[in-house]
Structure 1
Amino acid sequence: MKIKNILIILCFITGLNTAFANEGWINILKAGGNNKGILCTKAIQGAIDKASTNDGGGTVYFPAGNYLTGALKLKSNITIYLDAGAVLKFSENFDDYLPYVEMRYEGIMMKTFSPLFYAKDAENISIKGRGVIDGQGKVWWNEVYRIETAKGPIPLTKWQKMWDEQNPAIGYEPYYKRTMDKKFFRPSFFQVLNCKNILIEGVTFQNSPFWTINPEFCENITITGITINNPHSPNTDGINPSSCKNVHISNCHISVGDDCITIKSGRDADGRKYGVATENVTITNCTMLSGHGGVVIGSEMSGGIKKITISNCVFDGTDRGIRLKSARGRGGVVEDIRVDNIVMKNIKENAIIMDLFYDKSSKEEPVSERTPIFRNIHISNLTGTDVKKAGSIVGISEMPVQNISFSNINIQSEDGFTLNTTDNVEFHDVKVTTKMGASFEIENSNNLILDNVATMKPIANTPLIKLTDVSNMMINNNFPMFATDIFLEADGAKTKGIYLKNNVFNNVKKVVNKGAALNAAAIVE
């Protein structure tokens, strides 16, 4: 009986060993690599190539230790797995990112340095584990600073000359000339083109040369449980899906030198040429600290952006919270956006901003494929404290921002909401407590509802609501609970059809303060 049991155990162990052997795990230390910080790009790339040729693919495994590599080309059916204690650093030598490859830089296709992780036309790619991946981006940042701060012309580097040779005819709008004239385009940390089934889980990315996680023209992307930390660095966005479909971002912690999460789809004519929207995106359970914006849509949105949900997120210390930005000439439609259950604190500028006038110098033009559109955007259950400005919505004269709603919002800010050139905007159960100015200041807009809006601390001789050239508006179900000097101030020859219904103004000294240009019949009480 004992011999039989021993044989069974041996068979079991042999089976396990066979199973593990067939899993396709390649320990990089057994494949010519080292964990002493000595450059081993060839060994790592060789392991990736070998893993991709196995039936069912394979995993390149990094045990604890320090690794150094140049650019890596990811293949189909492979996993990069970094164990706890593993630190994979990328080379500071620009030559380790040659030859130039086709990639997308800020929404324009070109040939330039290879992204640190790069793939094209591949599928089933994963980066997993509890290790750290360090882009050592400072050398890239310093080179940009050197070019930008030069006083007068400076000699072109060999990389700038290479860029000229390999990009003979790239079109772009005049406003983008300053960027293109640099001829130096830093690589994204992770950029994959036209790939499917991407998983990034658990790892920490830090010190990216440029944008960090940047899938382009991809489908079925899951990014979960990662940390991104890019301190004091230019253009080091966190997660930037662009022209992608079916994207899931969850449980991430992001602190970067630019926007934390940004949704894009190409720039201007180049973006419209490909015409691939970013759609079906969920962002949930993320925390965002340092960054120009928490979740941003645009400004490169020329291919369109639609069907986006953002929920259960915390923004603490970002310059802005939710930001949508575009301008004339970009084109594209941003629509079907839902934002829910958000907490913001210490927002240095706007909690919410929707801006179609991002290029302030642009002039009105006929509606065409160049005209950007923001519509069908709904924000609910948001709390903000220590905010500089509650929100700003700015349309362009030929295309107002359309069909927007705010529900169950409570913001404490220095300044309130401003709306200019909007159509069909609603506020329901919204409290905006300001230190200066009206809580709601609306100009050049039509078709609005303000339903149960309030401030917790009315300001002396300052209206809660201020209107200029506004038409067809319902202000209803309002009950100012605290002593209020002025509830509504209205002016402008175009102001008309302002209805005050079902309100209780017992605590209000003056319900309406009428401006000199206001028509006598403009307000109906």
Structure 2
Amino acid sequence: MKKLLQLFLASSILCFLGNALFAQQYYNVLNFGAKRDSSKLCTQAIKNAIDAASKAGGGTIYFPAGKYLTGPIHLKSNITIFIDAGAELHFSDDFDNYLPMVESRWEGTDVQNFSPLFYAYKAENIAIRGRGIIDGHGKKWWDFHHGLYAKNAPRSKWQDIFAANNKNVIMPEVPDMIQRGFLRPPFIQPMYCKNVLVEGITIHNSPFWTVNPEFCENVTVTGVTIQNPVSPNTDGINPESCRYVHISNCHISVGDDCITIKSGKDSAGRKMNVPAENYTITNCTMLSGHGGVVIGSEMSGSVKKIAISNCIFDGTDRGIRIKTARGRGGVVEDIRVDNIIMKNIRQQAIVFDMQYTKTAPQPVTEKTPIFRDCHFSNITADGNEAILIDGIEEMPVENVTFHDLRMDMQTGVTVRNAKNIEFHQVAITAKKTASFSIENTAGIELDGVKTLQPVAGKPLITMKSVTDAFVHGCSPVKGTDVFLQINNVDSTEIVIKGNNLKNVKTILSGDTKNIKAD
């Protein structure tokens, strides 16, 4: 009996301590004056709860079920925002609530701007999690943004405030951005933070980019649903100039790119010179959006060591898109993409675009962007265009490989201004064009490539101004009219060897005198 009594007392003490610890760690916003019927702006109540938790060394700011109206929420170190199932945070669309302006980054340029809806600066161990909803009520922001482009649009007080805060910001490449002076805030933007977690929540109607860590280390975004309607620049997840980023199990449908990796724009990005590196993206689904996973075009600080796997893109304009322009500078390299399904792709399934802004060739300088060492495998796709590699004359896209791809598209593969490109066991069924069109490329290997449904009168492969090509291991299907067509005489060092061409009507056509064929 004595031992039982001792056990009972001990368990009671532990239970009491556990409850006390729970009470110390959790800060219910209702206890700080927040209303859960949207009847009162609860920005100050949330701030008071965060301050109390921070004073105690950290804690969880708890939102029970209900609807809360709030302005911006600024996190501090060791603070978790927990939005329970049934809880909804509705952010005010009164622009004045997002003043004073704070240090921010907007499309790769460092500025003072409206406070992000969730903001943290140089904090550690912060989180936004739960099964609730956060709604940015972005329509008023979007409408104001569109109104700035109207003829004779009146100047607002917010543009004057922005001008006063950013008079020393010089962006010669995009002067209209600074002159326009009204930049919508991102939804979630931690700046210079460590150990950041965004988990489980559903996000609606972001004013601008949705989850946008800047210069952060060890960022995890998992189990998040992002739903933005057709709207300007409401990208889903944009980690910029961060390292050690983990994105998984997310469902994204937005008005711009679903996931985008960036590192600063032009001279501002090169000045900061902080790459985006060591990112993993896995087990995500992307629906509406300009791109499934996009790198750039703001990549002036470079993008390195990115792994993308086990994702589905259904209905995006593009699947994997890597884009830049002359003047950006920066290097994109060491990219791995594996085990991807793409459906209903409206433009390109895979695209390397170094002419996002069309310009004439320039001497190679620090402003010249570089794409190299990117590898794709185990991908299926259907839609409009299979693959576009469009480099620039002075800096071709280099060292890109494709293994085990199956694509059923309207148009095929185009490779232009590139170097050392390989296709291994790639089937491109194009309904309107040749499956592979190679132009102005040095070093191309086509190993076991084919189409599953030939197009009458169209070759399987076309080449123009190509040097050092090796075509081998191919077995074209019945009905292939032309295996390889050379469209000019300056293509040289083209070797065709070890192919099964019994089903081809014409093996070679065009200017074939420089071709070595067995």
Deviation at 1:6, TM superposition (A): 5.5
> SS of the counterpart of 2:279?
strand
Q: 1:301 corresponds to which residue?
A: 299
Q: Give 3-state SS (helix, strand or coil) of 1:119's partner.
A: strand
| Residue pairs, 1:216-227, within 5 angstroms | 216-227=214-225
The match for 2:317 among 300, 307, 319 is 319
1:459 alignment partner in structure 2:
455
Mapped to 1, the partners of 2:253 and 2:245 lie a distance apart of 20
Partner of 1:168: 167
Task: State how far apart, in whole Å, the 2-side matches of 1:16 and 1:73 are.
Answer: 29
Query: Aligned pair in 2 of structure 1 residues 172, 8: CA closer, same or farther (>3 Å)?
Result: closer
Q: TM-score normalised to the size of structure 1?
A: 0.96
Shift of 1:233: 1.1
After superposition, the C-alpha distances for 1:87-135 in whole angstroms (9 at most, x for unaligned) are 0011010000000111000000111101011111111100110000000
Partner of 1:509: 505
1:424 pairs with 420, 430, 433, which one?
A: 420
Q: 2:132 — aligned with what?
A: 131
Q: Give, in angstroms, the shift of residue 183 of structure 1.
A: 1.2
C-alpha separation between the residues in 2 aligned to 1:10 and 1:501?
A: 81
Does residue 402 (structure 1) correspond to residue 398 (structure 2)? The answer is: yes
Cross-structure match for 2:232: 234
Aligned to 1:121: 122
Q: How does 1:354-369 map to 2 (within 5 A)?
A: 354-360=352-358, 362-369=359-366
- SS of structure 1 residue aligned to 2:177: helix
Helix, strand or coil for the counterpart of 2:148? helix
Superposition map of 1:55-70 within 5 A: 55=57, 57-70=58-71
Query: Is the CA contact (8 Å cut-off) linking 2:494 and 2:514 kept in structure 1?
Result: no
SS of 2:335's equivalent in the other structure is strand
CA contact (8 A) 1:128 1:202 kept: yes
Does residue 377 in structure 1 map to residue 360 in structure 2? Answer: no
Equivalent in the alignment of 1:100: 101
The structural deviation recorded for 1:167 is: 1.0
- Give the whole-Å Cα distance in 1 for the aligned partners of 2:88 and 2:212: 21
Q: Give the Å deviation of 1:8.
A: 5.0
CA contact (8 A) 2:390 2:418 kept: yes
**RMSD, aligned α-carbons:** 1.3
**Secondary structure in structure 2 of the residue aligned to 1:454:** coil
Between 363-372 and 57-66, the greater mean CA deviation after superposition: 363-372
- Alignment partner, residue 495 of structure 1: 491
User: Is the CA contact 1:497–1:524 (under 8 Å) kept in the aligned structure 2?
Assistant: no
How far, CA to CA, are the matches of 2:501 and 2:258 in structure 1?
43
Amino acid at match of 1:442: I
Residue 31 of structure 2: aligned partner: 30
Cα-to-partner distance string for 1:419-442 (whole Å, 9 max, x where unaligned): 100000000000000110100001
In 1, Cα distance between the equivalents of 2:272 and 2:14?
55
Identity %: 54
Q: What letter matches 1:236 in structure 2?
A: T
Alpha-carbon spacing, 1:59–1:426, altered in 2? closer, same or farther (3 Å): same
Cα offset for 1:482? Answer: 2.2
Once residues 403 and 455 of structure 1 are traced to their aligned partners in structure 2, the CA distance between those partners, rounded to angstroms, is 24
Q: Which amino acid aligns with 1:63?
A: P
Distance in 1 between the 2:486 and 2:251 partners?
44
Deviations along 1:133-159, one digit per CA (max 9) or x if unpaired, are 0001011001011112x12x2321000
Task: Please report the TM-score for the alignment, with normalisation by the length of structure 2.
Answer: 0.97
Determine the C-alpha separation between the residues in 2 that align with 1:364 and 1:521.
Answer: 29
The answer to whether 1:270 aligns with 2:268 is: yes
Quote how far apart the aligned CAs of 1:519 are: 6.1
Deviation of 1:368 (Å):
0.9
Deviation at 1:12, TM superposition (A): 4.3
Matched position secondary structure for 1:321: strand
Q: How far apart in 1 are the matches of 2:10 and 2:177?
A: 68
SS in 2 for 1:453: coil
Q: Which residue of 2 aligns with 1:84?
A: 85
| Partners of 1:396 and 1:242 in 2: CA distance | 25
Q: Is the 8 A contact 1:173 1:268 kept in 2?
A: no
Amino acid at match of 1:368: T
Question: What's the CA shift for 1:345?
Answer: 0.2
CA distance in 2, matches of 1:406, 1:8: 64
C-alpha separation in 1, matches of 2:195 and 2:169? 31
The separation in 2 between residues aligned to 1:130 and 1:26, in whole angstroms, is 18
Q: Which residue of 2 aligns with 1:521?
A: 514
2:44 alignment counterpart? 42
Judged with a 3 Å threshold, the aligned counterparts in structure 2 of structure 1 residues 166 and 418 are, in CA distance, closer, same or farther, namely same
**How far, CA to CA, are the matches of 1:427 and 1:521 in structure 2?**
22
Q: Contact between 2:388 and 2:414, CA under 8 Å: does it hold in 1?
A: yes
DSSP 3-state at the match of 1:331: coil
Distance 1:494-1:169 versus aligned 2 partners, 3 A rule: farther
Q: What amino acid does structure 1 have at the position aligned with 2:442? A: N
Cα displacement string for residues 228-276 of structure 1 (whole angstroms, at most 9, x for unaligned residues): 0011111000000110000000000000000000000000000000000
1:154 — aligned with what? 153
**In structure 1, the residue corresponding to 2:230 is in which secondary structure?**
coil
List alignment gaps of at least 5 residues for structure 1. Answer: none
- Contact 2:311–2:339 under 8 Å retained in 1: yes
Name 1:257's counterpart in structure 2: 255
Q: Distance in 1 between matches of 2:396 and 2:238?
A: 27
| Cα deviation 1:12-62 (Å, max 9, x = unaligned) | 43233223234x11001111111011211001011112212213x100000
- Corresponding residue for residue 279 of structure 1: 277
- What is the aligned counterpart of 1:187 among 185, 188, 198? 185
Q: CA 1:478/1:299 → structure 2, altered by over 3 Å: closer, same or farther? A: same
